[in-house]
Structure 1
Amino acid sequence: MSYDLAVWDDDRPLDNHQAGLTYDELYERYLESDDVVVPPAQRIVAYVEALVARYPDDVGRNVVWASPPVIGEASGPIVYLLMSYGKAEEVSEYAAALAREHGLVCFDPQGECLRP
């Protein structure tokens, strides 16, 4: 079981509904499609590097990430973060704050709401 967040590079949506529409579009375009591999955008790479500096994605001893390496879940302007449920509260709080620091949007697809 995991807790998921989506982080993307764009202007912050006006509300949760608009964020959900943007999330759906980005997810379908960049994460669902296996046809075209799109390298992660530089701002997403910088964000993931900062995130794994605090919460490493060591595949062998991982207790934080449900799907390491984290950068493997990034494509174009979006990264989909899958956190182990036991660490979700701590890690998601940090991930959302870090996204804000990087000027990125953080969205909770389970709750269908913007974070923070």
Structure 2
Amino acid sequence: MSYDLAVWEGGAPTDDGEGRRVFQQLYRKYIDTEDETPPTPRIRSYVHTLLERWIDMTEDEEDASPWSDGPMIGNASGPIIYFAMRYSMCEEVSAEAAKMAAEQGLICFDPQWDRLRPSDGGAVA
């Protein structure tokens, strides 16, 4: 079981509903497609920040990576990254990943809870 987050660059949605609509639009255009679009420099930078904190699954020999697949950069396309983490680690990792996104001026959306993150201090449940 995994837990997913979406992070993208762009203007801040006004509420969770707008966040959902933007996420769905970006997902269809960049993730759920056969077309390959290289990640933007800002999304590459975000991935780099994540991998400074947690090891990429493809390099993990000690089963310590929180990611559900890899390489992490493979989950990025254009201005969005849609990535999964182990459910057992999702509370800490998703809160920190959302905080890192905000610090870089990126938008974070939690599809499980259908809301923008961090919206309430970062708690998952």
3-state SS of 1:106 partner:
strand
Q: Gapped runs of 5+ residues in structure 1?
A: none
**How many angstroms apart in 2 are the aligned matches of 1:47 and 1:98?**
8
Higher RCO by CA contacts (8 Å cutoff, separation 6 or greater): 1
User: Are residues 1:42 and 2:41 paired?
Assistant: yes
Q: Name which of 94, 103, 108 aligns with 1:101.
A: 103
Helix, strand or coil at the partner of 1:82: strand
Letter in 2 for 1:16: D
Name the TM-score, length of structure 1 as normaliser. 0.95
Name which of 74, 77, 95 aligns with 1:75: 77
| Residue 15 (structure 1) aligns with | 15
Find the residue that maps to 1:107 and give its secondary structure.
strand
**Partner amino acid for 1:77?**
P
Between 20-29 and 61-70, the greater mean CA deviation after superposition: 61-70
Hey, what's the Cα distance between the residues in 2 that align with 1:112 and 1:38?
26
Per-residue CA deviations over 1:18-53 (Å, capped at 9, x if unaligned) read 00000000000000001x210000000000001111
Question: How many residues align structurally?
Answer: 115
Identity %: 45
- In 2, the alpha carbon distance for the partners of 1:82 and 1:50 equals 16
* Gap regions ≥5 residues in structure 2: 119-125
The alpha carbon displacement at 1:81 in A equals 1.6
Counterpart CA distance in 2 for 1:3 and 1:58 is: 15
Q: d(CA) in 2 for partners of 1:14 and 1:49?
A: 28
The one-letter code matched in structure 2 to 1:68 is: G
Q: Which runs of 4+ in 1 moved over 6 A?
A: none
RMSD across aligned positions (CA): 1.0
